[in-house]
């Protein structure tokens, strides 16, 4: 109790700064988090500037350079069609980033308003939304995404939609719990008493309070989305060849483990590093922004 009290009392001083400013200033004091931030920035730069940075066309086959080991000409080697692996990795970053940004936006845009409504309105609305969320959570996220992608048809954008939809329940649960936590706070009741309409209370008084927890959850969901996009593309329902994704690069690599093991190393390492960085950032932000609750990671 005393801990909770001291956090509440501490609020006014931290509230002077925006959550983002607070996050950036405290991240900058943690070397590991800075490293994770750097990895994410590199991925962003590679994804945005792929055309300028990639040394080769990621789709152009070179029949005279099939499965060449890393060399000065091809820093990370070439694949089964003689395509430059480094260039494909750089374009693959685009698929990964696209997947994480868009799917998290979908989950956020649908999950947060629905969760807020459930938490603030309560009653039958809450009951129905909660049962529906339970139903969505009962279907393992990846299996749900695979089947959704299958019915929608295999493509990167459908895979991204599927990942976003699979991540919705986590955001519903989180915003619902947070909204329920603050709805009986005095300032919310005061806002109601002075005659604010409900939508305004939710938007102006409840939502700003749950932003820190949502930032943390969004970062952790980015990690989930990176792995999920790679997984779907690896299974063949995500990015379609000849388009490059770290996941579908591993699908081909698996057939040449004896002859060209390097094909399997780099894309996997990229997925792992990117997901690790998002998870590290999420954990650090958690400690800074929202130490009281631990959101669940979509599984």
Residue ranges binding other proteins (CB under 8 A): 128, 131-132, 134-144, 146-153, 223, 227, 230-231, 234-237, 250, 253-254, 257-258, 261, 264, 267-268, 271-272, 275-276, 279-280, 283, 297, 299
Q: Is the peptide bond before 242 cis (omega within 30 degrees of 0)?
A: yes
Q: How far is the CB of 136 from other proteins (least distance, A)?
A: 7
Cβ proximity to other proteins, 124 vs 193, nearer residue? 124
Q: What is the largest CA-CA distance in the chain?
A: 77
| Six-digit token string for 64 | 């005279």
Q: What DSSP element (H or E) covers 88?
A: helix 85-121
Which one, of 97, 105, 218, lies nearest residue 164 by Cα? 105
Give, in order, the Cα–Cα distances in Å from 197 to each of 178, 180, 234.
20, 18, 49
Cβ proximity to other proteins, 49 vs 140, nearer residue? 140
Cβ proximity to other proteins, 206 vs 249, nearer residue? 249
175 CA to centre of own chain:
17
Q: In angstroms, rounded to a whole number, what is the distance separating the alpha carbons of residues 181 and 14?
A: 20
Cβ proximity to other proteins, 72 vs 131, nearer residue? 131
Three-class SS state of 84: strand
Q: In angstroms, rounded to a whole number, what is the distance separating the alpha carbons of residues 258 and 80?
A: 12
Q: How far is the CB of 74 from other proteins (least distance, A)?
A: 20
Cβ proximity to other proteins, 206 vs 253, nearer residue? 253
Q: In angstroms, rounded to a whole number, what is the distance separating the alpha carbons of residues 157 and 238?
A: 8
């Amino acid at each position: 109790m005393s801990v909770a009290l001291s956090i509440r009392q501490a609020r006014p001083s931290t509230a002077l700064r925006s959550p983002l400013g607070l996050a950036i200033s405290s991240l900058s004091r943690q070397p590991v988090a800075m490293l994770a931030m750097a990895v994410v920035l590199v991925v962003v730069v590679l994804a945005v500037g792929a055309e300028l940075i990639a040394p080769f066309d990621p789709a152009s086959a070179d029949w005279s350079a099939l499965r060449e080991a890393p060399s000065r000409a091809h820093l990370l080697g070439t694949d089964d069609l003689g395509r430059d692996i480094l260039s494909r990795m750089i374009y693959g970053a685009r698929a990964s980033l696209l997947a994480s940004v868009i799917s998290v936006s979908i989950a956020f845009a649908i999950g947060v308003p629905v969760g807020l409504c459930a938490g603030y309105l309560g009653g039958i609305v809450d009951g129905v939304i909660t049962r529906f969320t339970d139903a969505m959570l009962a279907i393992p996220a990846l299996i749900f995404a695979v089947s959704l992608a299958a019915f929608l048809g295999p493509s990167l954008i459908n895979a991204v939609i599927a990942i976003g939809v699979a991540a919705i329940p986590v955001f519903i649960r989180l915003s619902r719990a947070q909204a329920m936590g603050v709805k009986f706070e005095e300032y919310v009741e005061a806002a109601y008493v002075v005659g604010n309409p409900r939508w305004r209370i939710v938007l102006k008084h409840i939502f700003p309070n749950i932003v820190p927890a949502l930032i943390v959850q969004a970062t952790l969901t980015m990690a989930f989305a990176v792995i999920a996009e790679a997984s779907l593309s690896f299974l063949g329902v995500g990015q379609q060849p000849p388009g490059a994704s770290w996941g579908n690069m591993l699908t081909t690599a698996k057939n040449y483990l004896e002859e060209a093991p390097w094909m399997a190393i780099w894309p996997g390492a990229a997925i792992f590093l990117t997901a690790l960085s998002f998870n590290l950032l999420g954990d650090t932000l958690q400690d800074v922004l929202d130490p009281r609750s631990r959101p669940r990671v979509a599984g």
